[in-house]
Amino acid sequence: MKKIVVLTGAGISAESGISTFRDSGGLWEQHRIEDVATFEAWHRNQQLVLDFYNQRRKRLSEVNPNAGHLALVELEKKYHVQIITQNVDDLHERAGSTHVMHLHGELKKVRSTLDSSLVYTLDGWELKKGDLCEKGSQLRPHIVWFGEAVPLIEPAAELASDADVFIVIGTSLNVYPAAGLIYNVKPGTPVYLVDPQAEMLPDVKNLTIFRETAGKGVPKLVNQLLGNE
Ligand code: APR
């Protein structure tokens, strides 16, 4: 079976009703990264950071996967599909995708501040001050904050380098190391980009752009790859 690796970003969940980060009106216009998404922020004002992720977790419980997420599941009929997502939502899993790697963590999980191997699935949407791990330390969101290492980047780079087809959906490709994964694909590998703001990438050969939303562009691309058109 041919291997398709799909790198997704906030844009694939936009039509589900989750804000992206850098579009106009996006999350980083409403919150300062240094207030809510760094370890220093957590150190300075835990409540502000908890509130930010609690709101996002609450929102996640109100939304559903869209046609973009669902089309990627269809691809599994003919290909081994590995999704590498920068998103912390669980919409790929809820759509039914089988292999999903979360590069930047998972909103529904929390972990110990004392022992990072202690990761738990949170019941409900609210993480509070005083919620402790089994060793008695405060739980924090299971999120890779700015300035923190991305623990899964090496396995992700290996997957990218092994891809027969590489698809990028709904990411501004602003944040490294995730944005660099596209440069791990073998020369000659077909690369597809689905994003209404997509631009040519001068160093990527064999690039095809679907300059449209994920809800429209991904089903089209999937049909093409399944040979349905
Ligand atoms: N369909 C597809 N793409 C869309 C849609 C849509 N309906 N709406 C917006 N987009 C595209 C935008 O054009 C943009 O290229 O989604 C992209 C969103 O970019 P960002 O907001 O920068 O999100 P992302 O690339 O996922 O951010 C990367 O930055 O803040 C951190 O950790 C956070 O994982 C995140 C990382």
Domains and CATH numbers, the chain: 1-17+65-104+150-229 (3.40.50.1220), 19-62+109-143 (3.30.1600.10)
Q: Among candidates 50, 28, 67, 21, which has minimal Cα distance to 222? A: 67
So what's the pLDDT on residue 145? Answer: 98
How many angstroms does the Cα of residue 22 sit away from the middle of ligand 1? Answer: 7
So what's the pLDDT on residue 172? Answer: 96
The answer to whether residue 202 scores a pLDDT higher than 90 is: no
Sign (positive or negative) of CA dihedral 113, 116, 119, 124: positive
The answer to whether residue 165 scores a pLDDT higher than 90 is: yes
Output the residue whose Cα is nearest ligand 1's atom 8: 11
pTM for the structure as a whole: 0.97
Output the residue whose Cα is nearest ligand 1's atom 10: 11
So what's the pLDDT on residue 229? Answer: 62
Q: Is 102 in the active site?
A: no
Give yes or no for a contact between 18 and 60, defined as CB atoms under 8 angstroms apart.
Answer: yes
Phi, psi for residue 209 in degrees, rounded to 5: -110, 130
Atom of ligand 1 nearest to the CA of 146: 32
Query: Which band of pLDDT confidence, cut at 50, 70 and 90, is reported for residue 228?
Result: confident
